[in-house]
Structure 1
Amino acid sequence: RRGPRGAGPGPGRRSVQSGRYPAAGLRVLDLTRVLAGPVATRTLALLGADVLRIDAPWLPESQDALDDTGMGKRSARLDLATADGRAVLGRLLETADVVVTGYRPGALEALPGMAPEELAARRPGLVVARLSAWGWSGPWAGRRGFDSLVQAASGVAVAERGPAAADGPPGALPAQALDHGTGYLLAAAVLRALTHRHRTGEGTCLRLSLARTAHALLHARPVPAPAGAEEPPRLRETVTGRGSLRYVASPVEFEGGPRDWSRASGTWGADAPCWEGAAGGAGRGSSR
C-alpha cells in the first residue's frame, strides 16, 4: 500500500541509487526478532544501509542468534512502553528511510503512536515493512507463530514426509526456509519500494508473512537441481570482542556488489540508540 508522498531524494531524504551499493546511505530501523526480520535487515546492511536494531530491555536476545543475524548492524535497547523511549524513537524516525517490524500483529499498535499508519504519517515517504506468521486476515491473523508451526499448518510438513511414507510422521524442511525465504523477499520488496520512492517521493507499507511464503513454495513449479555436487557454503572468519567468529557468506552476490558485511555482529544492546555518525553513533559494540 502506498503511503504519503515525501520530499523526494535530497538532504534528509537519501536515495536508494546513491552510493556504490543499492542501499548505501539509507537508514533502517529494525524492530524485529528471530528470524525472518533479522535476515531481511541483515541483507539491507550488506547492501550498504545503516541498520539500527532496537530491542526492549526485558527481551534479551541469544548472543548466538545475534552473531548470525546481526552482521553489519548495530544493536540498542529502548523501552518503547515509556514516553522517553518513544521520544528517542521519534528522533530516530525523523531521518529514517525504512522501518521493519516483526512483532505479533497488534503488539506495536498497542503503544501510543506506534501503529504503522501513524509511523508513516509522521515521516512522509517512509517505507514500513511488516512481518507476521499467518497473514493479515482470517481467524489466525493475530496469532503468534514461527517457521516450524507454519510448516506444520500449511502442508509443508506433509509434503516433506515423502511419497514412500504416506502413513509416516510429518517431515520438515532441512532449514528454517520460510524464515530465510521471507527475509530475502522482504529485503527485495524494501528495495523496490525505495526505488518507487526515489521516482515519486511516495512511501509504501509492505506486508509479508511466513504462511504466504509457504503457499508460494507449495505451489511453485519444480525446478530440476543442477547437475554435479552441491557447492559447499563459503565460510568466512573474523575476530570480534568475544573471540573468533566463523560464519557463512551471504548468498546475495552480484557483479560489483559487496563481498562481505562492513562489520561483524556486536554485543546485544551495546550500541547507543542513534544513527551512525551521530553523537555516540559508533556505539560500543565490536566491529571489524
Structure 2
Amino acid sequence: MTDIRFAWSALGGDPALVSRITTVEREGALGARLPVRELARACVGACALAAAELAARRAGLAEVPAVRVDDGAVATAFTSERHLLVDGRPPLTFAPLSRFWRTADGWVRTHANYPHHRQRLLLALGLPQDAEPAAVEAALAERSALDVEEAVYAAGGLAVALRTPEEWGAHEQATAVAARPLVQSERPDEARARVLPALEGSPALPAAGLRVLDLTRVIAGPVATRALALLGADVLRLDAPQLPELADQHADTGFGKRSALLDLAAGRTAFEELLAEADVVVTGYRPGGLDRFGLSPEALAERRPGLVVAQLSAWGGYGPWGGRRGFDSLVQVATGIAAVEGSARRPGALPAQALDHGTGYLLAGAVLRALTEQSAEGGSRVVRLSLARTATWLTQGSGPGASEPGGAPGSAGTGAVPSSVPGAPYDGPEPWLGETDSGIGRLRYALPPVAFAGGPALWARPPGHWGADVARWA
C-alpha cells in the first residue's frame, strides 16, 4: 500500500495529499509472485489523486476530493483487452508468431502482431512470408537466443532473449534504466503560467477544455490518453494511413477519443495547425522515431511554448537499447520478469500487461500534475516514462539511489498514508464491466478505475472506427 506514496512522490506530488486516498483491497486480484497488485493500485491511485488535485485547483476547492481505488476495478482495467466483446465476439489478442520459442540454448519471445513486424521476423530467419509456426520453431531451435535477438532487431523486427534478473542486472541497458527516476520531468523554458478556466457543472472534469494530440499506439500510450479523455480532455489520436491499428486494440483503448489519419510528412501544415492549438502532446513511438518530422519533445515545446509533452518508450531513450522498439511482453522477458513468473520448464508472464497499463496511468498522472504545476509556475513541461523503468520498480523497488520515499511495493515509507478497507475477494470482472452501443457494434468493456468524489464514472463517448474522424479540433 505504501508504494502509492512512492508513485505519488515520483509525480512530484505533495506527500500530505496521499491521506485523501482510500484503497479497497481484494485478495486474488492480479495474483503473481511479484507485487503486481500493489504496483497496479499505486499507478491508478497516483493518477486519480493527480486528477482530484487538478479538479480542486480549477474548482477553487479548499480540499482535494477523496480518491477511492478498488482492487477489483484496477484488476479488471489492467486486463481490459481480454474482457472486450464486440457484438459478443471476443477480441483477437496475440498472433500465432507472437509467443515464446525454444532456442538452442534457452528461450526467446517474439512479437509479430502487426504485419510489418511479422514480415521482418520471417525475413531475419530466412523463411518465406507464408511460413507456418512449425517452420519458425524449427529455425529458432538451431540458433542461440542472443543471436536471434540481434538478427531480428537488425531486420527491424522484435525478438528478445529470456534473461534472469541477474543477467538483466548485468546488462548496460539495465544500469542506464535503473539510474533514472521512475518519472523524468523537465522544464525547458519559462513560458507564462497557464490560466485554466474554472470548472462548472457536474461531474468535475479536471482536463475539460484541454486539447491532447495522441501520437501513440498499442497499449500504454492509448491507456494514458484514454484516462485523459475520461477526465474531460479533447483527445485526437493521429495515425499514419499506412500503419493500420488492430481493430480490437483500437476499440479497447479508444473510449472518449476521436481518431484521424495524417501522414506527418505530406500533412505537415495540417499537423502544425493542430499543434498550434494543442495543450498536450503524448508520443509513444520509439525514441527518435518522430524526430525527422520535427516532433522531438524539445522541438515541440519550442514551437508551442507552454506545451506539456509526454514521451513514452519501451526501454528509455538512452543506453544501448535507447532507440529500440519494444512491447510489454518483450520487456517482461528481457528484465527477468518472465523468468521469475515461470518455472524450470517454461518462462511465465504477469497476470496482466501490467507494465503497459501501469506506465499508462502514471503517464496520465504525470500530465495532470504538469498541468497543475503550470497553473502556478508556468513553463513548458516534458515528462518521460518507460516500460523498462516501471519493470525495475516492480522487480527491485525504488531502485538504486532513488530519492523518493517508500521503496519496494509493500515497504514502509514516511509521511501521510492512504487508508484501506477490506473488500470481498476478487472472483471475476463482472462488477466492473459495462456495456454500450457504438458505431462499431455493441461493446462490453472494462469500466474506468480512476475515481474521485464528484469525478466522472464513464467516458463521454464510445470508440468509433479507426481513422474515421477529421484531423482537426472539434
TM range, normalised to the smaller chain?
0.7 to 0.9
Alignment of 1:51-70 (within 5 A): 51-70=235-254
Q: How does 1:1-288 map to 2 (within 5 A)?
A: 1-10=186-195, 14=196, 18-19=199-200, 20-82=204-266, 85-111=267-293, 113-161=294-342, 165=343, 167-220=344-397, 221-223=408-410, 228-230=424-426, 232-233=428-429, 234-276=432-474
Q: State the shift of 1:152 in Å.
A: 0.6
In the alignment, is the contact (CA less than 8 A) between 1:27 and 1:49 conserved in 2? Answer: yes
The one-letter code sitting in structure 1 at the alignment partner of 2:472 is C
Aligned-pair identity (%): 61
The answer for unaligned runs of 5 or more in structure 2 is 1-185, 398-407, 412-419
User: CA-atom RMSD, angstroms?
Assistant: 1.8
Q: Distance in 2 between matches of 1:231 and 1:201?
A: 46
Q: Which runs of 5+ in 1 are unaligned?
A: 277-288
Contact 1:54 1:77 in 2 (8 A): yes
- The aligned residue for residue 25 of structure 2 is none
Contact 2:194 2:306 in 1 (8 A): no
Q: Is the CA contact 2:308–2:381 (under 8 Å) kept in the aligned structure 1?
A: yes
Find the aligned partners of 1:109 and 1:241 in 2 and give their Cα distance.
35
Aligned residues: 265
Q: 3-state DSSP class of the match of 1:28?
A: strand
TM-score under structure 2 length normalisation: 0.54
Letter of the 2:452 partner, please give it: F
Deviation by residue 1:172-202 (Cα, 9 ceiling, x = unmatched)? 0011110000000000000011111111221
**In terms of Rg, which structure is larger?**
2
Partner letter of residue 8 of structure 1?
Answer: A
| Whole-Å separation in 2 of the counterparts to 1:38 and 1:121 | 25
Matched-pair contact (CA < 8 Å) for 2:236–2:259: yes
Q: Could you give the per-residue CA deviations for residues 218-244 of structure 1, whole angstroms, max 9, x where no partner exists?
A: 123354996741164311111112321
Which residue pairs with 2:168 in the alignment? Answer: none
Which residue identity lines up with residue 230 of structure 1 in the other structure? Answer: Y
1:263 CA displacement? 0.1
Judging changes above 3 Å, is the alpha-carbon distance between structure 1 residues 193 and 168 closer, same or farther for their aligned structure 2 residues?
A: same
**Partners in 2 of 1:79 and 1:58 — Cα distance?**
8
The 1:227/1:201 distance shift into structure 2, 3 A limit, reads closer
Distance, in Å, in 1 between the alignment partners of 2:277 and 2:427 is 41
Contact kept in structure 1, 2:240 and 2:262, CA below 8 Å:
yes
SS of 2:223's equivalent in the other structure is helix
Normalised TM-score (structure 1): 0.87
Following superposition, the deviation at residue 153 of structure 1 comes to 0.6
Mapped contact 1:52–1:76 kept (Cα < 8 A): yes
| Distance in 1 between residues matched to 2:192 and 2:472, nearest whole Å | 22
In structure 2, the CA distance between the partners of 1:30 and 1:252, relative to structure 1 (3 Å rule), is same
